[in-house]
Chain A
Amino acid sequence: MLTLLKKDLLIELRRREVLPAMLVFVVLVAMVFSFAFELDPATVKSAAGGVVWGTLVFSAMLGFQRSFSSEQDRNTLDGLLLAPVNRFSIFISKMLVVWIYVLITALVVLPVYSILSNINLINLKILLTVSLGSLGFCAAGTLIAALSSYSRAREVLLPVLLLPVALPLLMAAVRVTNGILQGAAFSALQQGLAIMIGFDIILLVAAWLMSDILIGE
């Protein structure tokens, strides 16, 4: 599994296909949100969670689109399937790659958005929320990307298939992030956190159960 992970990261390091595009894209999306809402200081705090997650979701989508289709374009998935690895490892490594991208993206977008909107988004709680939420989103995204890679219109279909599945997670994540920004007590965040953790677990279990029928054949 580590080898698979290393392989995908190495390809990315050599080709620079996905991560640079994601990074430029998030900064652009952050700017679009700033202009679209013309946020004044009073509302900026309540919108911050939504903007951060909206940005991360759109950039993660770019990552998912490449994760399976890049194998298909180069016909390397068959080679991967012949190798003595189980398919859940393939899934996990694909997921981890996008997760790493999203975390790097988050490390860029949080300071950028903090500067643009003059609030401090960089603290440990928010980073933890982002990692927890994006883990579930990456699990869902990789699962759906594997599904949609079979379809003719995979680029169009991926967001249409993924967003409704991931909406509960995103709503919880936005709520928790906003709660943290407004200084809410831990007990007020518990429900949102429970939904996020539950979603992460359910999606990973679903991927584990279905990876054999999902990938390849």
Chain B
Amino acid sequence: MSVKKAAPAWLRWGSTILAILMLAGMVGMVFFYAPVEKTMGFIQKVFYFHISSGWVGMFSFLVAAVASVLWLANKQKETFINKLILLDIISLRAIQVGLFFSLIVIITGMFWAKATWGVYWVWEPRLTTVAIMFLIYAACLLLRQSIEEPTTRARISAIYTIIGFLSVPITFLSIRLFPTIHPLVVGTGESAFNMDARMMATVIFSLAAFTILYLAIMFHLVQIPVKSISDPVSKESA
């Protein structure tokens, strides 16, 4: 089975180069431009990586959910068969990449928590919902693995991806709805983070840099199987 990258070469390598440049710029801004936070000190720098990977992780799960909805909406159309395979692969890759970035969020968050709260983990709403979100998508990969027939696999995992996506807005809103010690960065409220303008600029640039990084990773990972006559059914797409 031969595979072909779904994205054209200029898009793949263009986004990669842009992502590398922006990441370098982000590191520079984080360490040399943004001021050191007064109470938390140097460890607060981890926050720029924390919030950016948090955003990318959730965005990736959104991509997976959208691809799943499109898959289910178009599954009856025979002419769509190639697009269906592509959607299924996008959903799979988005979940994998989302899990990777969620893991970064959890790990960076744990070190930050150790430095500011004194413990690696507390069972408060944000940490709990993130853990649940992570487990749901990990379970989704297990589900995919255990179904062999490609169409059934795509259908069943699409349904689970959509159900699992319920956890994403809950995670996003958890620090806004429930009393928590987790700081709120975007928006206003009691626990909102007071940031100086240079910090805010760094946050926005970090979010942009990680988004480009995410797109570059996805462009590289999304491959479509190329059908040959001897191999009409694409069974190894996952």
Q: Chain A interface (Cβ within 8 Å of chain B)?
A: 143-144, 147-148, 150-154, 157, 160-161, 163-165, 167-168, 171, 202, 206, 210, 213-214, 217
Contact = CB atoms under 8 A, between A and B. Distances in A.
7 contacts: A151-B147, A160-B142, A161-B143, A164-B167, A165-B167, A210-B162, A217-B155
Given A143-B163, A210-B159, A214-B159, A164 B132 contact: yes
Contact of A165 (B75, B147, B155, B163): B163
Contacts of A147: 143, 156, 159-160
**Contact residues on B (Cβ < 8 Å of other chain), bracket:** 20 to 34
B152 A164 contact: no
B159 A164 contact: no
B139 A160 contact: yes
A39 to B, nearest CB: 21
Contacts of A202: 166
Q: Is the interface of A mostly helix, strand, loop or mixed?
A: helix
Contact of A151 (B146, B159, B163, B164): B146
Nearest to B140: A161
A168 to B, nearest CB: 7
B148 interface: yes
Contacts of A213: 72, 75, 155, 159
A156 B156 CA distance: 16
A143 B155 CA distance: 14
Nearest to B157: A147
A168 B123 CA distance: 13
A150 B159 contact: no
A67 B210 CA distance: 45
Contact of A157 (B72, B129, B143, B152): B143
B2 interface: no
B24 interface: no
B136 A153 contact: no
A110 to B, nearest CB: 26
Given A160-B142, A161-B139, A151 B155 contact: no
A152 B147 contact: yes
Contacts of A160: 139, 142
A157 B139 CA distance: 8
Given A150-B156, A164-B139, A213-B159, A171 B166 contact: no
B155 A153 contact: no
A157 B136 CA distance: 12
Given A161-B139, A164-B136, A165-B136, A151 B156 contact: yes
Contacts of A152: 146-148
Given A147-B159, A157-B143, A202-B166, 18 more contacts: A147-B143, A147-B156, A148-B143, A150-B156, A152-B148, A153-B146, A154-B146, A157-B142, A157-B146, A160-B142, A161-B160, A164-B167, A165-B163, A165-B166, A213-B72, A213-B75, A213-B155, A214-B159
B82 interface: no
A48 to B, nearest CB: 19
B46 interface: no
Contacts of B72: 213
Contacts of B164: 164-165
Contacts of A153: 146
Interface in B119-160: 128-129, 132, 135-136, 139-140, 142-143, 146-148, 152, 155-156, 159-160
A150 B77 CA distance: 23
A147 B152 CA distance: 10
Kindly name the residue among A168, A210, A214 whose own CB sees the greatest number of chain B CB atoms within 10 A: A168
